[in-house]
Structure formats: C-alpha cells, structure tokens
Amino acid sequence: MSSMTRRSFYVGAAAALSATRVFGANDRIRVGIVGLGGRGGDHQSSYMRIPDAQVAGLCDVNQPARERAQARITKAGGAKAQEFADMREMFANPDIDAVSIATPNHWHALACIWACEAGKDVYVEKPASHNIHEGFRMVEVARKTQRMVQVGMQSRSTPLKIRAIQLIQGGAIGKLYAAKGLCFKRRKSIGKAPLEAVPPGLDWSMFLGPAQMKEYSKTRFAYNWHWFWDTGNGDIGNQGVHEMDIARWALGDVGFPKTAVSTGGKFVYDDDQETPNTQLASLGFGDREINFEVRGLLTGPEAGLPVQKGNTVGNIFFGSDGWMWLGDGFQIYKGESSEKTLEEKDKGGEDGTVLHMKNFLSACRSRNVKDLNADIAIGATSAAFCHLANISYRTGRALQWDDAAKHFVNDAAADQLLTRNYRAPYVV
C-alpha cells in the first residue's frame, strides 16, 4: 500500500486544483498515463505522435511496465517522464496537466474521480465505468470540478463513422426502428491457473483496488481480468461497448431503455472465466430497440457480412426504407429488393485514437465541454447499456428500468448490481 495518506493526497489535490494551468498557444499539454499494459502502451505511442502533447508521467502498479514505458520514451529521444507507483501521487503533482487512464475497468471511475478532484482533465478508456452507480458519480464530479473528461470511444472522432451516423440521422434508410451491435470476436480459452506468489515488482493489492482481495493467479492478470466480474465486464463491456455506443449514437444518443433482457452462457470451455462467451441482449425504448450479440467461439458472420481475421464486428441499422451495415466501411441497401445504393470504404488516414486524443486536448484548451466528441455523460450512458445487459444476464430475468428513481422496478437483487461491494479505502 502506498505511503500517501488520504489527507495528504487531498491537500495536494486542492493545491493542484487552485493552480490549473491556462495553456498558451505554444504550450504542450503534459499528460500522465495511468496503466501501462497493452492499451496503456497504445495511449503512450498515440500521445507521442501528437506535437501538442508531452508524456510527462508514467504510472503503473507493476514496476516492469513502468520500465518498458520509460524505455519507449528514451528510445524515441524524448525527455524522461516522472514515474509513479501510486496514481494519487501523479494526480497531486503540479507538473501534470491531464491524465490518460488505461487501467482495468474496475479502476476507471475512482481514478477519474480522484484526477478530477485534483484539478486534472481526464481521458478515460472505455467502458467509462465498471457499474452504473460509478457512471452517475463520474458525471457529477466532472461537472462539479469543471474538468474535461473524454471517454475512449474513438468512433466518435472517426470520419467514416461520423458520416455514416449523419446519413442515418438524415433519413438515408428512413425512420430508424432498430440497431444491432455485433461482437463476433474470437476468444480462445484462458485455461485454468493455480494460485501462486505475486510476481516481483507488482503491487497486487493496488491492482485489485476497489475489488475484494483475492490471491494472485495468472488468469486474473494481464488482459484476462476482462473475464472476471470483479475487474471486467465481459466482451459486451470490452469490444462490445464500442458497437453499443455506435448503436445509441445512431438512435440520437437516447437515454436509458425501459426494458433490458439478456441471455447466454459460457459455452464449450471449462476454464477460469466467469463472464459469458455467448450473449444476446435486447434493450427496449418503446418505439425502437437495440439488440446486441456476443460470440467468442467459432462462428460464421451475420447475413453474409464481412469477416476480418475471424471476426465480424460492427453494426446493422434497420429503417423504414432500408438498412445499413457499418464496420470498417459501410453499405446502404434500400427497398424490397435490398438494392445496394451506397458504399463507402475506409480511406485510411489518421488513427482514430490519435484523432480522439487531439479532440480531447483541444477541449482542454477551450474549456468547453461541448467540444468533446465523447464527453463522460455520453460514455457513461453507453457503458450503462452494457451493464444493464449484464445485470439481466446475471439475475436471469428481464428487467424494467425506472428512470426517475434511477433503479429497477421492484427488483432489489438487480438493484444490488447497480454498484459493488467496495474494498476500503477504494470506495466510489
């Protein structure tokens, strides 16, 4: 456990908040990255490609990860970044202007909240939250502290996706009545791993953070944390949240659905994974619906749609006049004969994550939350749709949502899954 106390952190945080920098035209925004695994490495390389940014801080509970990240900077000829084992020390540091959070899902909310309270703007990976309660709190704190909080759903900054959604909302397929998200992404069995000693250099207690203490095993660490309820949200909340967000975006960024139902299971495999590898979900809004499907096992595509490296990932939109497939490109089909009337392919160009981070940095300068393409209010709601599906799956029944009360209708067991049993002091 870090030597930094809660009191000393908040003293430092208050000082940082009062000293928020106003960026000059030539000032580089000094970014600290929290979580330096696979996606954290992507964050680092993306910021290093943006002249407007400087990777000034590196934070991870795993010392070897910090060392690898530092080596990437020095190899590229950059100035050495400050290293932190405890994110609170990074957040209290006045030399860091903004933070980029690429931790496991169960840390997203608390890291974001702490950073906002310390006066930092935040780029937080998807899904925005680990549960619905956390999303509500993240929005509340971001607004109270007036921080820019961007969620890493880079489709919102990708030109081809923006054009496709504009076409749908402009009536290209008539009145939209349904959207379907597909996450047919091959996931091989994670196997079974024995409990063992924590590897040298890893702060396992800090890694678990808000989750209850469990003994270390390889399957609970290094990406496979996605498949345990304590730390992840299954593939609907991993890859799937991108497609869920695109579905909601096309429907006009709708609020919470009235009903949610999800079925499925962990089929074929006998391993340590807890989350389903096969899942169906339906979210009802009265006059429209979102359907979602996860398939991690061997599968064919949907309706002859393209397979890329064994995967079919994207969205299908259904309107009164036709339908659209949206993946790496999009096609529109119209009329009773489903005649293809428009097709656009991805022309390449700048990486979507880089574009999304540039949008975030621009909002850090403008101080206008409306400049963000995926503000926390957008990201938290799209994540909540995935959480609603998982709550239905875990309770084994269809659910009704009371939007005014912000809980389920007459379902105490489902309400318990709106939040989690936090491990002090890591409480949202």
Q: What is the pLDDT of residues 303-330, one digit of tens each?
A: 778 788 889 999 999 999 999 999 999 9
What is the rounded CA–CA span in Å between residue 3 and residue 80? 24
Which one is the CATH code of 6-156+353-375: 3.40.50.300, 3.40.930.10, 1.10.3300.10, 3.40.50.720?
3.40.50.720
Three-state SS letters, the chain: CCCCCHHHHHHHHHHHHHCCCCCCCCCCEEEEEECCCHHHHHHHHHHCCCCCEEEEEEECCEHHHHHHHHHHHHHCCCCCCEEECCHHHHHCCCCCCEEEECCCHHHHHHHHHHHHHCCCEEEECCCCCCCHHHHHHHHHHHHHHCCCEEECCHHHHCHHHHHHHHHHHCCCCCCEEEEEEEEECCCCCCCCCCCCCCCCCECHHHHHCCCCCCCCCHHHCCCHHHHCCCCCCCHHHCCHHHHHHHHHHHCCCCCCCCEEEEEEECCCCCCCCCCCCEEEEEEECCCCEEEEEEECCCCCCCCCCCCECCEEEEEEEEECCEEEEECCCEEEEECCCCEEEEEECCCCCCCHHHHHHHHHHHHHHHCCHHHCCCEHHHHHHHHHHHHHHHHHHHHCCCEEEECCCCEECCCHHHHHCCCCCCCCCCCC
pTM of the model: 0.94
Averaged pLDDT for residues 191-206: 97
pLDDT tier at 135, thresholds 50, 70, 90: very high
> What is the percent of the chain with per-residue pLDDT over 70, rounded to a whole number?
95
Question: Taking Cα atoms as reference points, which of 53, 25, 34, 26 lies closest to residue 357?
Answer: 53
Q: Minimum mean pLDDT among 1-10, 261-270, 364-373: which range?
A: 1-10
Query: Confidence class of residue 11 from pLDDT cuts 50, 70 and 90?
Result: very low
Structural contact between residues 58 and 65, judged by C-beta atoms closer than 8 angstroms: no
Domain spans of the chain? 6-156+353-375, 158-348+383-416
Q: What is the pLDDT of residue 185?
A: 96
The predicted pLDDT at position 9 comes to 52
Judge residue 280's burial from the number of C-beta atoms within 10 Å of its C-beta, 0-12 exposed, 13-18 middle, 19 or more buried. Answer: middle
**Cis preceding linkage at 257, omega within 30:** no
Q: What confidence tens digit (pLDDT) does each residue in 204-223 have?
A: 999 999 999 999 999 999 99
Number of residues written out for the chain: 428
- Across residues 270-296, what is the average pLDDT? 98
Query: Amino acid letter at 310?
Result: G
Say which residue, 362 or 23, is predicted with more confidence: 362
pLDDT on residue 4:
53
Distance CA 420, CA 99 (A): 25
Q: CA-CA distances (angstroms) from residue 393 to 348, 402, 411? A: 38, 19, 14
Contact 210, 110 (CB under 8 A): yes
CATH of domain 158-348+383-416: 3.30.360.10
Tens digit of pLDDT for each residue in 243-257? 999 999 999 999 999
Question: Of all residues in the chain, what percent carry a pLDDT higher than 90?
Answer: 90
Across all residues in the chain, what is the average pLDDT? Answer: 94
What pLDDT is stored for residue 18 in this prediction?
A: 44
| Residue 297: predicted pLDDT | 96
User: What are phi and psi for residue 426, nearest 5 degrees?
Assistant: -90, 65
Residue 357, beta-bridge partner list: none
Q: At what angle do helices 376-395 and 240-250 cross, to 10 degrees?
A: 110
pLDDT at 6 over 80: no
Task: Examine domains 6-156+353-375 and 158-348+383-416 and report if their fold is the same.
Answer: no
CB count within 10 Å of CB 339 equals 10
Statement: residue 235 has pLDDT above 90 = yes
Residue 367's pLDDT is what?
A: 97
Structure tokens that stand for 34 in this block: 């929290």
Q: How far apart are the first and last CA of the chain?
A: 18
pLDDT at residue 312, rounded to an integer: 94
